[in-house]
Structure 1
Amino acid sequence: MHEYGIAEAILSAIEHRAAGRPVRRARVRAGALLRVTEPAINQAFTLVAEGSPAEGAHVDLVIVPAQLTCRSCGSTTTSPDPYVTCPSCGGTDIDVDGGDDLILESIQMAEATHVPGDPRRDRGNPA
């Protein structure tokens, strides 16, 4: 399954951004050419994230469509499935642009269980 390589790339980006802090969720934009689904990427991510700050985190996947240009009629369209025929003429001679991106859009940190400071648990400097 190629999802494991993609999950490892996502984990690497999360670990870099989180800097050791525990992560609850991540939002990732993946191009249509990567041919991944949210359930498959989460299954792979669960395995690769074990023992990391992202252990137990969920990946929200947003599929970015590829731009298709028909060489026969010049029609341009976008599609989440890059292996389609031209919707205008039915041709199969199609150029595909984009759709291979993998971008970590955001991460959601887990809530802190301990706030450093004095034992009275105040969060500011006493005046």
Structure 2
Amino acid sequence: MHEFGIAESILAAVEGRADGRRIRRARVQVGALLHVAEPSLNDAFSLVAEGTVAEGAHLDLVTVPVRLTCRACGDVSTSVDPYAVCPRCGDSDVDCEGGDDLVLESIQLAEATHVPGNSRGDRGDSEGSS
């Protein structure tokens, strides 16, 4: 299950951006050529994230399509199926480009209940305090 290697890479990127803060969710772009199953990746991420700032965090995956260029008719298209045939002529002689991306798009931090040194908490005082 190659999802563990991918999960470890995502965890490293998440920890780097989190700067010690707890993570609730991460959005990741995954290329179609990586053949990632979202449930399997979330399971793997749960295991590798135990005891880290990302423990309990959920991954949202965005599949990045592969660009197909048909050698027979020249048609250019995209597909999330890396084994796709040309949608125009049905030929299987296609060149694939891209689709091997793995990009941490965003992270959602867990909400802080208290910010040290701020007597008003993390939301501030709407009437202002002195």
TM range (shorter): over 0.9
Please list, as runs of the form range in 1=range in 2, the aligned pairs for 1:2-81 lying within 5 A after superposition: 2-81=2-81
Q: Counterpart of 1:89? A: 89
Q: Which SS does the other structure have where 2:67 is aligned?
A: strand
Question: TM-score when scaled to structure 1?
Answer: 0.92
**Post-superposition, which runs of at least 4 consecutive aligned residues in structure 1 deviate over 2 A?**
121-127
Deviation at 1:126, TM superposition (A): 6.0
What residue ranges of structure 2 are gaps of 5+ in the alignment?
Answer: none
Cα distance in structure 2, aligned partners of 1:37 and 1:62: 11
Partners of 1:113 and 1:102 in 2: CA distance: 32
What CA RMSD, in Å, does the superposition of the two structures yield over aligned residues? 1.5
Take 1:126 and 1:89, find their aligned partners in 2: how far apart are those partners? 70
Q: Which runs of 5+ in 1 are unaligned?
A: none
Amino acid at match of 1:96: C
Contact 1:37 1:61 in 2 (8 A): no
Distance (Å, rounded) in 1 between the aligned partners of 2:116 and 2:50: 27
Give the aligned partner of residue 113 of structure 1.
113
**Amino acid corresponding to residue 84 of structure 2 in structure 1:** V
Report the Cα distance in structure 2 between the residues aligned to 1:88 and 1:122, rounded to whole angstroms: 62
TM-score (norm 2): 0.90
Number of matched pairs: 125
